Amino acid sequence: MRDFAQPGRSPVYATEAAVATSHPLATRTALDVLARGGNAVDAAIAAVALLGIAEPQMTGVGGDCFAMLLPRGASTPIALNGSGRAPAAAQAGWYHERGITRIDPFGPHSVTTPGAVAAWCRLLADHGTMGLDELLQPAIHAAERGVPVAPRVAFDWARDAHLLRDPVTAKLFLDSGHAPAAGTVHRQPQMAQTLRAIARHGHAGFYQGWVAEDIVGCVRGHGGLMTEADLAATQPEYVTPIHTDYRGHRVWECPPNGQGLGVLMMLNVLSGYDLGPGSTLTEADRIHLLAEVGKQAYLHRDALFCDPV
């Protein structure tokens, strides 16, 4: 339902459930899960698996998962940190001995163990009502049949196409050496195989067996230190959420190494300004304020939200 808000976002009203994702297919997938009796955890995992197919430049099984939820009857949320860890052999001394003083963000030493799938398994075991064998079927279907490439996805894909020149990634994500154009139906049959392994075997289907062997072989083949033991040991961790109070609302976020502290920092600064209907700030002033607050929060994030070494 549209109201008169500009530039175009409006409140959403629902009597049963609401889902917000960045892609309509993922939103529909989550709503379908809820309609079949699933809960929010079930719906979220089905949706994010689908997003890994529809928006592979943004998310996927090779990434991390930070989750926060409010269990039935609880007054405060709980958080799960499903971020990856560095390989056990990635000790500071190893890099110093080899004169490595900077980690290439696109090199093998920047790769951590992917924590997303482990987090999905823990969330479903502790709070879900459905299994991965059922929840991953929409993503498997989308990977096999293909999803039309959205304009934003096509833009990101083309911008980063130079990062996909490796023969393996080029075969998976490029079309004759070029990023798929908007509207192109892009299929990912290999990802469908990976998702099937996860659907059938859960944690072991990704962190052990042929999928784990393939991941480790790729990383080590490029000079990285990851081992199959590193993958097999991957587990998420429940952590205590952090919060701030902003204009009568308590806002919760996952703690570092999650990035939510940056949001809380911004809200704390903005709480000192009158941003309501009677504000004397012009629209230009408001935009400038938000930009500067965000800039400072990101500077603090980059300086402080990191490993001490």
Tens digits of residue pLDDT in 120-151: 999 999 999 999 999 999 999 999 999 999 99
Distance CA 307, CA 85 (A): 11
Closest CA to 16 of 34, 43, 36: 34
Q: Is the pLDDT of residue 2 over 60?
A: no
Does residue 309 have a pLDDT over 80? no
Answer whether residue 84 is part of any domain.
yes
Q: Is the dihedral of CA 87, 221, 121, 58 positive or negative?
A: positive
Do 227 and 292 belong to one domain?
no
Asked if 70 and 214 sit in the same domain, the reply is yes
Of 239, 259, 281, which residue sits at a domain end? 239
Whether residues 235 and 248 fall in one domain: no
**pLDDT number for residue 8:** 65
Residue 232 gets the label, from left (phi > 0), alpha (psi -120 to 50) or beta, of alpha
CA distance 185 to 167: 21
Does the residue 7 lie in any domain? no
User: Are residues 277 and 136 part of one domain?
Assistant: no
Q: What is the mean pLDDT of the chain?
A: 94
165 within domain boundaries: no
Kindly state the average pLDDT of the residues 243-262. Answer: 95
Q: What percent of the chain has pLDDT over 70?
A: 96
Q: What is the mean pLDDT of residues 270-275?
A: 94
**Per-residue pLDDT at 107 exceeds 60:** yes
Q: Is 199 found in the same domain as 60? A: yes
Residue 309 maps to a domain: no
pLDDT at 13: 87
What number is the average pLDDT over the span 160-186? Answer: 94
Residues 82 and 141 in one domain: yes
Q: Which pairs count as long-range contacts for 36-42, CB under 8 Å and 24+ apart, including other chains? A: 37/129, 38/128, 38/129, 38/130, 38/135, 39/127, 39/128, 39/129, 40/69, 41/69, 41/123, 41/124, 41/127, 41/128, 41/129, 42/124, 42/128, 42/129, 42/130, 42/135
Give strand pairing partners of 244: 251
State mean pLDDT over 35-64: 97
* Residues 41, 69 contacting (CB under 8 angstroms): yes
State the DSSP code for 209.
Answer: H
The total domain count for the chain is: 2
Q: Is residue 3 part of a domain?
A: no
pLDDT in tens, 58-101: 999 999 999 999 999 999 999 999 999 999 999 999 999 999 99
Q: Please choose, from the candidates 190, 187, 183, 215, the residue with its C-alpha nearest in 3D space to the C-alpha of residue 84.
A: 215
pTM listed for this prediction: 0.92
Q: What per-residue string of b and e applies to 48-63 under the rule 16 or more CB within 10 Å gives b?
A: bbbbbbbbbbebbbbb
Give pLDDT, residue 12.
Answer: 83
Please state the length of the chain.
309
Please compute the mean of the pLDDT values over residues 9-18 and round it to a whole number: 86
The pLDDT value given to residue 301: 87
Closest CA to 64 of 110, 109, 114: 114
Angle formed at CA 178 by CA 23 and CA 55, multiple of 5 degrees: 15
Q: Which domain holds residue 38?
A: 24-146+187-239
Helices (H), the chain: 24-35, 40-54, 92-97, 116-127, 132-135, 137-145, 151-159, 167-173, 189-201, 203-207, 209-221, 228-232, 260-270, 283-304
Q: Are residues 118 and 256 in the same domain?
A: no
**Confidence grade of residue 4 (pLDDT, cut at 50, 70, 90):** low
Q: Give the relative orientation of helices 137-145 and 24-35 as an angle to the nearest 10 degrees.
A: 150
* C-alpha span between 118 and 171 (Å, rounded): 27
pLDDT above 70: residue 3: no
Look at residues 219, 239, 259 and tell me which one is the last residue of a structural domain: 239
DSSP 91-128: -HHHHHHTT--S--TTSGGGPPPP-HHHHHHHHHHHH-
